[in-house]
Amino acid sequence: MPSVVLGAFQMAERFLERKTRARFERLAAGEAFVGAFGMPDEPAAGVRGAAVQANALLAGEWHIIVVGPHHAEALLARDLGDGGPEATRRFQFLHTNDRDLVVRCARSLMLSILPA
């Protein structure tokens, strides 16, 4: 059964210049709804985008949220602001499959996506 898949990538370049864009296009072809935050309106075929203001908390976060009829899961991460090489950056994170919490997170993000 199709799911809702939402992702936040801290900055658009991390989505647009990587394999992530192709992965999200593949997801959009088979899932009920696929959204990406911190992006233009349609950052990839079938993917709904939503802008994030530079001062918004979401601008410093990474998320992947999946909500389906029988499964709900989220990985939420916040950049701790380390400088230096990409591989040495640190994040505070939460991984959960608490359906109520995951649905609340997804609903909160989806409110920022404008209707097509």
Q: b or e along 74-106 (b: 16 or more beta carbons within 10 Å of the residue's beta carbon)?
A: bebbbeeeeeeeeeeeeeeeeeeeeeeebeebb
Rounded-to-integer distance, Cα 98 and Cα 23, Å = 25
pLDDT 10s digits, 83-94: 878 788 898 999
For the chain, the average pLDDT equals: 88
For residue 95, is it within any domain? no
Q: Is residue 30 part of a domain?
A: yes
> What residues make up the domain containing 21?
1-69
Q: Does the pLDDT at position 105 exceed 70?
A: yes
pLDDT tens, 46-82? 999 988 776 577 777 889 999 999 999 999 999 898 8
Residue 62 lies in a domain: yes
b vs e for 12-24, b when ≥16 Cβ sit within 10 Å of the residue's Cβ? bebbeeeebbeeb
What pTM does this model have? Answer: 0.87
Total structural domains within the chain: 1
Asked, for residue 102, whether it belongs to a domain, the answer is no
